[in-house]
């Protein structure tokens, strides 16, 4: 953890995956701006955990997880925590009319928490316009979606606060997205580099033009048991390079870490969820489920996830229609019998009685996907809030889709990270998040370079 205090802002924060990684690395997250109600409630709960922990009252947070006290009770008991959290979590929707208000609230939180400046800006605008799947479903390929320009609000915050470093995250589909006939990624780069004071992106712009995919980080290379490729633009104020030339190597150093980890092997679904309680469809609990069933034979990742948690929560299996359960059983058995991963075509050919009622049977042939024990999971997306067909549990005796906690484990959220709201909203939060362990590696590399500047 850093000796010097560094401060960060997180906009389009979601439930706080980026923030969590930066907080674990030692950053003080002064402000998180998010429009979604339930994501904001999750952010408040996470701040409650850290504030109680700082007071050495972590056992009270455990009581909340066990549903023995309410969150309101704890806020009433510690009004200073409630006030601190009310400053840190800013519920708002970006737009020209309220930008000044959001900036004012961020500044107020900075003053309240004694932040002399903001060192890092985090965030990634909603990715639906850049999603390849979303564009495939839209007849106009999302070209006229106004969300293409949400990055401009990120630029407004960057321009106003002038942090030393920014971390901008989005999906790889951004490379090929178009808005009103123009390449949106090219415009985003031009706008970032036209800022005053000027910023440099690491690696430099020439490399982006030659190979834009060099800006992709896959979470599986950072001790996350999930294949999740994301675009990261990491920029720094040009003036800082005079004091620390190494600042321009942040992204390359991250790539070296991923390459080294690749040689050592990746974590798997078994590493992620092999220790969690077995559930049949409909079993479990959206809130507190209970204490762990022993610690013998745990894997290192499971031990890490369990740290400072009194037990298991957000572990409730969906109820499934009988036909869906039979489909899941077919896809699991198909692979176990040595026929490899099945597609919808295999189901149509071998079990026509289980063909789903769907208009587009010739598209998305992998819409039923088993997450195998011996591999990293597929990318956890927000679509998991609609159905779990892409996330079928590998255990044929359980024959169900992933729970929120299982998805969160694959995303590297610790077990004491409570997702607030109905289960659908919990799934949405997990699917939209940046894996905290990946964010933590990025954060530690940034802290290392900032410490050289402020030494």
Active-site residues: which are they? 127
Asked if residues 68 and 77 have their Cβ atoms less than 8 Å apart, the reply is no
Asked if residues 326 and 354 have their Cβ atoms less than 8 Å apart, the reply is yes
- Kindly calculate the radius of gyration of the chain based on its CA atoms and give it in whole angstroms: 22
Q: ∠ CA(120), CA(122), CA(123), 5° rounding? A: 165
> Which of 42-45's residues contact partners 24+ apart within 8 Å by CB, and which partners?
42/15, 42/16, 42/418, 42/419, 42/420, 42/421, 42/429, 43/13, 43/15, 43/16, 43/19, 43/88, 43/89, 44/71, 44/85, 44/89, 44/420, 45/71, 45/418, 45/420
Q: ∠ CA(275), CA(419), CA(443), 5° rounding? A: 85
Helix (H, G, I), strand (E, B), or coil: what is residue 232? strand
Both structure tokens of 92: 């708002």
What are φ and ψ of residue 313, in 5° steps? -140, 170
Count other C-beta atoms under 10 Å from residue 123's C-beta: 27
Please spell the DSSP secondary structure of 95-160, one letter per residue: -TTTHHHHHHHHHHHHHHTT-S---EEEE----GGG-HHHHHHSTTTTTT-GGGGGHHHHHHHHHH
Asked if residues 113 and 87 have their Cβ atoms less than 8 Å apart, the reply is yes
Please spell the DSSP secondary structure of 277-340, one letter per residue: PP--TT-EEEEEEE--S--TT--HHHHHHHTT-SSEEEEEPPP--HHHHHHHHHHHHHIIIII-
> Shortest CA distance to 176 belongs to which of 202, 151, 142?
142
Residue whose pair of structure tokens reads 């050919």 in the numeric block: 349
Residue whose pair of structure tokens reads 């990270």 in the numeric block: 417
Asked if residues 22 and 8 have their Cβ atoms less than 8 Å apart, the reply is yes
């Amino acid at each position: 953890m850093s000796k010097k205090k560094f401060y960060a802002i997180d906009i389009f924060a979601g439930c706080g995956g980026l923030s969590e990684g930066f907080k674990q690395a030692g950053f003080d997250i002064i402000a998180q701006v998010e429009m979604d109600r339930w994501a904001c409630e999750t952010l408040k709960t996470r701040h409650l955990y850290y504030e109680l922990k700082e007071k050495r009252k972590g056992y009270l947070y455990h009581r909340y997880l066990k549903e023995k006290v309410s969150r309101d009770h704890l806020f009433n008991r510690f009004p200073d925590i409630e006030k601190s959290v009310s400053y840190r979590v800013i519920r708002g929707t970006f737009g020209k009319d309220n930008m000044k208000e959001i900036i004012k609230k961020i500044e107020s939180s900075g003053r309240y928490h004694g932040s002399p400046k903001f060192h890092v800006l985090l965030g990634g605008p909603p990715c639906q316009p850049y999603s390849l799947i979303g564009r495939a479903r839209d007849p106009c390929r999302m070209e006229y979606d106004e969300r293409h320009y949400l990055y401009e609000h990120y630029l407004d915050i960057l321009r106003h606060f002038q942090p030393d470093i920014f971390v901008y995250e989005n999906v790889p589909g951004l490379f090929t997205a178009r808005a009103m006939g123009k390449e949106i990624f090219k415009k985003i780069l031009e706008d970032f580099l036209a800022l005053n004071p000027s910023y440099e992106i690491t690696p430099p712009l020439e490399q982006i033009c030659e190979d834009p995919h060099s800006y992709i980080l896959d979470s599986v290379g950072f001790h996350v048991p999930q294949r999740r490729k994301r675009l990261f633009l990491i920029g720094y104020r040009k003036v800082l390079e005079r004091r620390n030339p190494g600042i321009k190597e942040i992204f390359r150093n991250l790539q070296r870490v991923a390459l080294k980890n690749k040689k050592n092997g990746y974590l798997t679904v078994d590493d992620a969820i092999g220790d969690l309680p077995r559930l049949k469809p409909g079993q479990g609990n959206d809130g507190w489920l209970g204490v762990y069933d022993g610690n013998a034979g745990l894997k290192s990742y499971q031990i890490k996830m369990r740290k400072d948690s009194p037990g298991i929560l957000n572990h409730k299996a969906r109820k499934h229609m009988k036909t869906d359960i039979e489909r899941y059983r077919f896809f699991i058995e198909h692979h176990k019998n040595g026929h490899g991963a099945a597609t919808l075509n295999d189901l149509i050919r071998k079990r026509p009685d289980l063909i789903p009622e769907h208009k587009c049977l010739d598209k998305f042939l992998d819409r039923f996907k088993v997450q195998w024990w011996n591999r990293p999971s597929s990318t956890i997306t927000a679509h998991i809030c609609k159905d779990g067909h892409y996330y079928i549990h590998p255990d044929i005796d359980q024959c169900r889709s992933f729970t929120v906690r299982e998805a969160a484990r694959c995303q590297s959220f610790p077990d004491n990270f409570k997702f607030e709201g109905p289960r659908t909203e919990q799934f949405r939060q997990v699917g939209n998040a940046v894996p905290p362990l990946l964010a933590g590696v990025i954060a530690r590399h940034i802290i290392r370079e900032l410490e050289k500047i402020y030494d």
